[in-house]
Amino acid sequence: MTVPPMFVWSVFVVLVLMATAPVWRLAVFGFNPALDDFLAFICSSSP
């Protein structure tokens, strides 16, 4: 049984998209911070 090349390339593309998601997610969906992000920013700022 052989695996069709198109299936292999499809899996490769999906894995590359998942691996690079943190980079392109901001460009596609914009910056939408959650409450945890705001709290982390406020707690880490020095007085």
Average pLDDT over residues 28-41: 74
Distance of CA 27 to the CA centre of its chain: 11
pTM, two decimals, is 0.55
Neighbours of 27 (CB within 10 A): 8
Average pLDDT over residues 33-46: 71
Structure tokens at 24: 């392109």
Instruction: Flag whether pLDDT at 45 surpasses 70.
Output: no
pLDDT of amino acid 47: 55
